[in-house]
Chain A
């Protein structure tokens, strides 16, 4: 039997080696943006301020349900919590669903300063995800015949933007009724024209840029905004300015307009460090509340729910709810962080188990423990696959799950033969 086990060890060595890539997770404490709820944003105000809740049942009250998007796009707000929050909103039969964008400029777990425009390239891998998430508030919402207010009408979905830098900018601009707060910034998706620089042939790099920009332009266009805005936010190799004529913007694809949106960024006009840190960079466009209002993207600049309600022309009483949605989103953020920590801990625990029992029963008991741990890891990976950060667990959840399945097979083979 001893010989048989030795043989097996040599055969199975191959599989242990292949699994090493994800088993060798560094033993360092990982900073988790969601440990305290959600990732930090510039705004420290409460995400949802419920108001006039006692009037919620009053038939004359305009019901406003708030869903706050804070933290990192795709992690703190991904499809599962967003769908759950919308399901919660549906139960309340609101007249208005207010999506509050106060997202950090965070990409793949790294949070950047707003002036770090070059990092905008990293946002582009999320454009497809943004298009998918947008369906929750567009197609899915429209198709749900039961998602209505108390009068049986479709609620309005309104986006109130405080900050949407990085991939969250794609999602915000897929909403067709937006209001910006003073100081709001939407951008961090620039320098697409440098994406894949140095790799392969230029024609293929342009293809890759084109299909991403096409997706963004599609979202922006469907929301009713000019597609040239999407281009100006994305590529630094054009020029765009505008002048207001009769209350409407007239665009110029050069620098002759009164306000320069982006200046092409060639050497003599390239943004300087002084410009960047003062948020005056214009190699690519970052939307501010003033510009967004001029361009018709923001319908008005509003700084509070009261102001928003007044701008919307709601004269009768209104009430604001959304604590449950906030709870769903915050809890999701905590769950993701916990799951990532658990995965790392469990993998270390798996590595620590030595198969050194003196009898087959003892060894198989040890293997049984290994199986239990691996199944726990699998469960976490499958449940939170959409939001777990590959950087935090040293690999993509799907690939790790596949590796685990092979290791489980290996352990079961060992158990079968070690009798």
Chain B
């Protein structure tokens, strides 16, 4: 080792030791007294509404301990550090909000759930001794940086006043939600919120969505559903997600399959649909009876025991009546929270973040939000203009056919342009191949091209 390198090493070590010493000096500044009487001294790294993260140095080893706020009797912070703990201010605000709001009680269920989760995290942290990067997207709120949340609109919100359609498989496409994943990843998103407002749509699209959410989204992000209205296919698509939050006026259910003039799906097809949704319920760790009452006319009730465990009954024997016999279930937010189907109620993004147990968060990836919105807008344009474009194409072809061969070129050119427009519109969504009453198969386009060529011969 040459002298220069030695000097550098010493300097680095000294700096490190000094930093560690300075750190240690303030380690003992904060005291957390538990309800059990135990006093924990250390540095409060995060002070959240649901839990506190304390860094403790003991016997030269540093540990991070996460303590549920329910277990805490008292927190004493070093005066010198006052002003550093920004989340404290937020926490007070949230408490005030909760006091002001008549629905504060409704959030209790959600808080219980959050506490359970945090408890699990606390146990894990205590065993491992320190925070380690976790592959579980649900743990990313504890990485020390603000949690990055992206919102994707599964159907336009009601305040768009019906300007764009909300049909699953038409205006809401699994393809678009698959295509947006790289954008979400690039933006470093931790939580994806699927904000649902749709009256339903194609059953086949629910399969694509369910697979996508289960096999892609849930593995990459903490993915939650936030329900304004989730009817039929719009409820079945995000069903594999574990976490549902409701808007105060939210509703979810009415998943009966049908076609034509209100004709129900029956027989083996119905059994397939029921079985499929049972599987998706299991993916989400949800009782299969809930979705069953949304699909067919079966009563539903539940009982919540003193530990908060919910037992569901496909009859009326439970304490809470959820669906009467002979009706199809559509649950309101109130009922969804009461029965712990939903983890909380939120009308705004900020309320949602709080309901998810976050205090340090930022809403990011507007480009991802926009990507999905643009898809919906484009699908609406296709829906509005496809039939018109088909008729204009038929017009151009008809006119070309009636003209002498030498005068056809401009009309054929016009027809070809319209055919290309139809092809472009169909390419936006695989369902558009069938949606307009014509099978826009590759063979269809080949036949049309051939016919246009023939017109010029």
Residues of chain A touching chain B, judged by Cβ–Cβ distance below 8 Å, are 4, 7-8, 10-12, 14-15, 18, 79, 128-129, 131-136, 138-140, 142-143, 174, 196, 199-211, 213-215, 217-219, 221-222, 224, 227, 386, 398, 402, 405-406, 409-410, 413, 417
Contacts and interface: CB of A to CB of B under 8 A. Distances in A.
A214 B332 contact: yes
Interface stretch (B53-61, B252-260, B352-360): B252-260
Contacts of B391: 15, 18, 406
B36 interface: no
19 contacts: A11-B398, A79-B161, A132-B158, A132-B161, A134-B249, A135-B157, A142-B347, A200-B258, A200-B261, A203-B256, A203-B328, A207-B254, A210-B254, A211-B330, A227-B334, A402-B384, A405-B392, A406-B392, A406-B395
Interface in B200-226: none
Contacts of A136: 159
Contacts of B254: 207-208, 210-211, 214
Contacts of B161: 79, 132-133, 135, 386
Does more than half of chain A's interface fall in helix, strand or loop, or is it mixed? helix
Contact of A205 (B159, B231, B262): B262
A132 B162 contact: yes
A8 B331 CA distance: 57
Contacts of B333: 218, 221-222
B182 interface: no
Interface class of chain B by DSSP: mixed
Contacts of A218: 229, 248-251, 332-333
Nearest to B250: A218
A417 B159 CA distance: 47
A398 B264 CA distance: 30
B263 A204 contact: yes
Given A206-B327, A209-B328, A211-B251, 7 more contacts: A200-B258, A200-B263, A203-B264, A210-B330, A211-B254, A386-B161, A410-B395
Contact of B388 (A12, A132, A206, A406): A406
Contacts of B263: 200-201, 204
Interface in B331-366: 331-335, 347-348
B309 interface: no
Interface in B379-401: 384-385, 387-388, 391-392, 395-396, 398-399, 401
Given A200-B258, A201-B263, A211 B159 contact: no
A207 B256 CA distance: 6
A403 B261 CA distance: 26
B258 A201 contact: yes
B237 interface: no
A217 B251 contact: yes
Nearest to A253: B321
B264 A7 contact: no
Nearest to A11: B398
Closest 3 CB pairs of A and B: A200-B262, A214-B330, A222-B249
B395 A15 contact: yes
A211 B199 CA distance: 8
Nearest to B418: A409
